[in-house]
A and B are shown apart, each in its own frame.
Chain A
Amino acid sequence: MNCVDCHRTRREPRRDHSEVTSLFPLPPGEGQGQPNEALAKAGEGIPTGLRTHRAIPGSPLFPRKWRALMCAAGLAFPVLPIPATDPGFDPTDPTMEVDLLFQRRVFTRADGLPSDNVRALHVSRDGTLWIGTDRGLSRLANGGFQTFNHASDPIFRHDTVTAIEEGTDGTLWVGTLDGLLEFNAKATRRHTTAEGLVDNQIEVLKARRNGELWFGTYRGLHRLANGKVTAFPNVFTNSSTARPAVFSMIEDRAGRFWVTGPGTPAQLLDASSDRFSPVSIQGNFTNALQSAFVAGHGILEDAAGRIWISGTPSFYLDSTGWHRPPPDDPLGRGCGSFLGLDADGTFWLREWDTGLVAYRAGRTRIFSTLEGVPDMPIQTLVIDRLGALWFGTPSGLCRWLPRRFPRVIGGDLLPKEAVWTMTEDSEGVAWIGTDRGVFRRDPSGRIDTPIRSLSDHRIRSLHLDQQGTLWIGTMDSLEFWRDAKLNVHHWEAPETHNKVRVVTSDAAGRLWVGRERGLMCRAGDVWRQFRVADGLPHDDVRALRFDRAGNLWIGTFGGGLAVADIGLHNPRASLAPPPRLEILAVRSRTNGLPSDYVWAIHEDARGSCWLGTDRGLARVHPAPRFEVSAITQAHGLFEEAINEILADDSGALWLSTERGFGRIDLDQAHAVADGRAPQLDCLAFTEADGLLTGESNGQKSQPAGIKTRDGRLWFATPRGICHFNPTNISARIRAPAPLLDQIRVDHETVYQFRPGIPQPGEHRFEFEPGRARLLEIAYANPEFREGPPPRFRHRLIGFDDRWVQAGERQFAIFTNLKPGAYQFEVQSAANHSAWSDHSVRCHIVIRPWFYQTLWFRTCLVGSLLAATFGTIRWREHSQHRVAELRRQMALTEERHRIARDVHDEVGSGLLRLAILGEKAQDRRDPNASVADLDRVRGEAHRLVDQLGDLIWAINPENDSLDQVLARLREYAALYVQDACLEGDLVFPDLRTTHLKLSGFARRNLALAFKEALCNAVKHAEASRVDVRCDLDHDHAWLTISVIDNGRGFDPARRSTPSKGGGHGLAGMRHRLDSVGGHATIESQIGQGTHVTLALPLPT
Chain B
Amino acid sequence: MNEPSQAQAAGTSSVHGHPGSPRLRVAAIEDDPEQLGFLVHLISHYPSLDCVGSFLSSETALPELASLRPDVVLVDIGLPGMSGTELVRHLKPLLPNTQFMMLTVIDDTPRIVAALEAGATGYLLKKDIQRRLADAIHELHEGGSPMSSGIARRVVQSIQHSTATKKAAAGPVSDADLTDRERQILDRLSAGMLYKEIAAELGVALGTVNTHIRHIYEKLHVHSRHQAMIRAKECGSA
Residues of A within 8 A of B (CB): 938, 941-942, 944-945, 947-948, 951-952, 955, 957-958, 962-963, 965-971, 973-975, 977-978, 985, 987, 989, 991, 1018, 1059-1060
Can you name 12 A-B pairs with beta carbons within 8 Å? A948-B105, A952-B107, A952-B150, A966-B150, A966-B190, A966-B192, A970-B194, A973-B193, A974-B5, A974-B6, A987-B192, A1059-B1
User: In the complex, are the beta carbons of A944 and B192 less than 8 A apart?
Assistant: no
User: In the complex, are the beta carbons of A974 and B153 less than 8 A apart?
Assistant: no
User: In the complex, are the beta carbons of A963 and B106 less than 8 A apart?
Assistant: no
Whose C-beta in chain A lies nearest to the C-beta of B6?
Answer: A974
Partner of B3, one of A941, A957, A987: A941
- Would you call the interface of chain B mostly helix, strand, loop, or mixed? loop
By a CB distance below 8 angstroms, the chain A residues around B25 are: none
Partner of B191, one of A958, A969, A978, A1059: A969
Q: What distance in Å separates the Cβ of B130 from its nearest Cβ neighbour in chain A?
A: 9
Partner of B1, one of A948, A951, A957, A1060: A1060
In the bound assembly, the distance between CA atoms of A973 and B105 in angstroms comes to: 22
User: Taking the complex as formed, is B148 at the interface, i.e. its CB lies under 8 A from any CB of chain A?
Assistant: yes
**Which residue, of B3, B107, B190, has the highest number of chain A Cβ atoms within 10 A?**
B3
By a CB distance below 8 angstroms, the chain B residues around A963 are: 149-150, 153
User: In the complex, are the beta carbons of A967 and B192 less than 8 A apart?
Assistant: yes
By a CB distance below 8 angstroms, the chain A residues around B196 are: 977
User: Taking the complex as formed, is B108 at the interface, i.e. its CB lies under 8 A from any CB of chain A?
Assistant: yes
By a CB distance below 8 angstroms, the chain B residues around A955 are: 110
In the bound assembly, the distance between CA atoms of A227 and B1 in angstroms comes to: 136
User: Known contacts A970-B148, A973-B192; is A944 also within 8 Å of B6 by CB?
Assistant: no
Whose C-beta in chain B lies nearest to the C-beta of A965?
Answer: B192
Instruction: Please report which residues of chain B, range 1-48, place their CB below 8 angstroms from some CB of chain A when the two chains form the complex.
Output: 1-6, 8
By a CB distance below 8 angstroms, the chain B residues around A965 are: 192
In the bound assembly, the distance between CA atoms of A969 and B193 in angstroms comes to: 7
User: Taking the complex as formed, is B64 at the interface, i.e. its CB lies under 8 A from any CB of chain A?
Assistant: no
User: Known contacts A966-B190, A970-B192; is A947 also within 8 Å of B150 by CB?
Assistant: no
**Which residue, of B107, B148, B149, has the highest number of chain A Cβ atoms within 10 A?**
B149
User: Known contacts A963-B150, A987-B191; is A970 also within 8 Å of B6 by CB?
Assistant: yes
In the bound assembly, the distance between CA atoms of A303 and B192 in angstroms comes to: 129
User: In the complex, are the beta carbons of B2 and A978 less than 8 A apart?
Assistant: yes
Q: What distance in Å separates the Cβ of B9 from its nearest Cβ neighbour in chain A?
A: 10
Whose C-beta in chain B lies nearest to the C-beta of A945?
Answer: B3
User: In the complex, are the beta carbons of A948 and B107 less than 8 A apart?
Assistant: yes
User: Taking the complex as formed, is B197 at the interface, i.e. its CB lies under 8 A from any CB of chain A?
Assistant: yes
Q: What distance in Å separates the Cβ of B206 from its nearest Cβ neighbour in chain A?
A: 13
By a CB distance below 8 angstroms, the chain A residues around B109 are: 952
User: Known contacts A966-B192, A970-B194; is A978 also within 8 Å of B4 by CB?
Assistant: yes
User: In the complex, are the beta carbons of A974 and B194 less than 8 A apart?
Assistant: yes
13 further A-B contacts with Cβ under 8 Å, apart from A952-B109, A969-B192, are A952-B107, A955-B110, A957-B110, A963-B149, A963-B153, A966-B149, A966-B153, A969-B193, A970-B6, A973-B193, A973-B197, A974-B5, A987-B192
Q: What distance in Å separates the Cβ of B71 from its nearest Cβ neighbour in chain A?
A: 28
Q: What distance in Å separates the Cβ of B4 from its nearest Cβ neighbour in chain A?
A: 4
User: Known contacts A963-B150, A977-B194, A978-B2; is A947 also within 8 Å of B8 by CB?
Assistant: no
User: Taking the complex as formed, is B127 at the interface, i.e. its CB lies under 8 A from any CB of chain A?
Assistant: yes
- Chain B 98-135 against A: per-residue CB contact (8 Å), 1 yes, 0 no? 00000001111110000000000000001100000000
**Which residue, of B2, B4, B8, has the highest number of chain A Cβ atoms within 10 A?**
B4
Q: What distance in Å separates the Cβ of B14 from its nearest Cβ neighbour in chain A?
A: 15
User: In the complex, are the beta carbons of B127 and A945 less than 8 A apart?
Assistant: yes
Q: What distance in Å separates the Cβ of B120 from its nearest Cβ neighbour in chain A?
A: 19
Q: How many residues of B contact A (CB 8 A)?
A: 26
User: In the complex, are the beta carbons of A947 and B106 less than 8 A apart?
Assistant: yes
Q: What distance in Å separates the Cβ of A630 from its nearest Cβ neighbour in chain B?
A: 97
User: In the complex, are the beta carbons of B149 and A944 less than 8 A apart?
Assistant: no
User: Known contacts A952-B107, A963-B153; is A989 also within 8 Å of B191 by CB?
Assistant: yes
By a CB distance below 8 angstroms, the chain B residues around A1060 are: 1
In the bound assembly, the distance between CA atoms of A974 and B150 in angstroms comes to: 15
In the bound assembly, the distance between CA atoms of A985 and B5 in angstroms comes to: 19
By a CB distance below 8 angstroms, the chain B residues around A938 are: 1
In the bound assembly, the distance between CA atoms of A655 and B163 in angstroms comes to: 110
Whose C-beta in chain A lies nearest to the C-beta of B128?
Answer: A941
Q: What distance in Å separates the Cβ of B201 from its nearest Cβ neighbour in chain A?
A: 12
By a CB distance below 8 angstroms, the chain A residues around B4 are: 971, 974-975, 977-978
Instruction: Please report which residues of chain B, range 161-211, place their CB below 8 angstroms from some CB of chain A when the two chains form the complex.
Output: 190-194, 196-197
In the bound assembly, the distance between CA atoms of A945 and B106 in angstroms comes to: 7
Q: What distance in Å separates the Cβ of B108 from its nearest Cβ neighbour in chain A?
A: 7
Q: What distance in Å separates the Cβ of B1 from its nearest Cβ neighbour in chain A?
A: 6
What 4 pairs between A and B have smallest CB-CB spacing?
A969-B192, A948-B106, A966-B192, A970-B192
By a CB distance below 8 angstroms, the chain B residues around A975 are: 4
Q: What distance in Å separates the Cβ of B153 from its nearest Cβ neighbour in chain A?
A: 7
User: In the complex, are the beta carbons of B194 and A973 less than 8 A apart?
Assistant: yes
Q: What distance in Å separates the Cβ of A699 from its nearest Cβ neighbour in chain B?
A: 114
In the bound assembly, the distance between CA atoms of A927 and B150 in angstroms comes to: 42
In the bound assembly, the distance between CA atoms of A1017 and B3 in angstroms comes to: 12
Whose C-beta in chain B lies nearest to the C-beta of A972?
Answer: B192
**Which residue, of B2, B191, B192, B196, has the highest number of chain A Cβ atoms within 10 A?**
B192
In the bound assembly, the distance between CA atoms of A965 and B150 in angstroms comes to: 11
By a CB distance below 8 angstroms, the chain B residues around A951 are: 106, 108
In the bound assembly, the distance between CA atoms of A957 and B107 in angstroms comes to: 15
By a CB distance below 8 angstroms, the chain B residues around A947 are: 105-106
In the bound assembly, the distance between CA atoms of A968 and B192 in angstroms comes to: 7
Q: What distance in Å separates the Cβ of B13 from its nearest Cβ neighbour in chain A?
A: 16
In the bound assembly, the distance between CA atoms of A326 and B69 in angstroms comes to: 165
Q: What distance in Å separates the Cβ of B29 from its nearest Cβ neighbour in chain A?
A: 20
Whose C-beta in chain A lies nearest to the C-beta of B106?
Answer: A948
By a CB distance below 8 angstroms, the chain B residues around A971 are: 4, 6, 192
By a CB distance below 8 angstroms, the chain B residues around A952 are: 107, 109, 150
User: Known contacts A944-B105, A947-B106; is A970 also within 8 Å of B149 by CB?
Assistant: yes
User: In the complex, are the beta carbons of B8 and A967 less than 8 A apart?
Assistant: no
In the bound assembly, the distance between CA atoms of A850 and B9 in angstroms comes to: 90
In the bound assembly, the distance between CA atoms of A846 and B203 in angstroms comes to: 100
In the bound assembly, the distance between CA atoms of A957 and B150 in angstroms comes to: 11
In the bound assembly, the distance between CA atoms of A953 and B154 in angstroms comes to: 16
Whose C-beta in chain A lies nearest to the C-beta of B3?
Answer: A945
By a CB distance below 8 angstroms, the chain A residues around B3 are: 941-942, 945
By a CB distance below 8 angstroms, the chain A residues around B148 are: 970
In the bound assembly, the distance between CA atoms of A962 and B108 in angstroms comes to: 18
Whose C-beta in chain B lies nearest to the C-beta of A975?
Answer: B4
Q: What distance in Å separates the Cβ of B104 from its nearest Cβ neighbour in chain A?
A: 9
In the bound assembly, the distance between CA atoms of A977 and B192 in angstroms comes to: 13
Q: What distance in Å separates the Cβ of B114 from its nearest Cβ neighbour in chain A?
A: 14
Partner of B106, one of A944, A962, A989, A1059: A944
In the bound assembly, the distance between CA atoms of A952 and B105 in angstroms comes to: 13
User: In the complex, are the beta carbons of A974 and B127 less than 8 A apart?
Assistant: no
User: In the complex, are the beta carbons of B106 and A966 less than 8 A apart?
Assistant: no
Whose C-beta in chain A lies nearest to the C-beta of B7?
Answer: A974
User: In the complex, are the beta carbons of A966 and B105 less than 8 A apart?
Assistant: no
User: Known contacts A938-B1, A941-B3, A942-B3; is A966 also within 8 Å of B191 by CB?
Assistant: yes
In the bound assembly, the distance between CA atoms of A1018 and B1 in angstroms comes to: 9
By a CB distance below 8 angstroms, the chain A residues around B107 are: 948, 952
In the bound assembly, the distance between CA atoms of A27 and B6 in angstroms comes to: 162
In the bound assembly, the distance between CA atoms of A973 and B149 in angstroms comes to: 12
By a CB distance below 8 angstroms, the chain B residues around A1059 are: 1
In the bound assembly, the distance between CA atoms of A945 and B5 in angstroms comes to: 10
In the bound assembly, the distance between CA atoms of A723 and B150 in angstroms comes to: 124
Q: What distance in Å separates the Cβ of A186 from its nearest Cβ neighbour in chain B?
A: 85
User: In the complex, are the beta carbons of A974 and B8 less than 8 A apart?
Assistant: yes
Whose C-beta in chain B lies nearest to the C-beta of A985?
Answer: B192
By a CB distance below 8 angstroms, the chain B residues around A1018 are: 1
Q: What distance in Å separates the Cβ of A588 from its nearest Cβ neighbour in chain B?
A: 107
In the bound assembly, the distance between CA atoms of A409 and B135 in angstroms comes to: 153
Q: What distance in Å separates the Cβ of A386 from its nearest Cβ neighbour in chain B?
A: 102
Q: What distance in Å separates the Cβ of B74 from its nearest Cβ neighbour in chain A?
A: 18
In the bound assembly, the distance between CA atoms of A974 and B197 in angstroms comes to: 11
Whose C-beta in chain B lies nearest to the C-beta of A1014?
Answer: B1
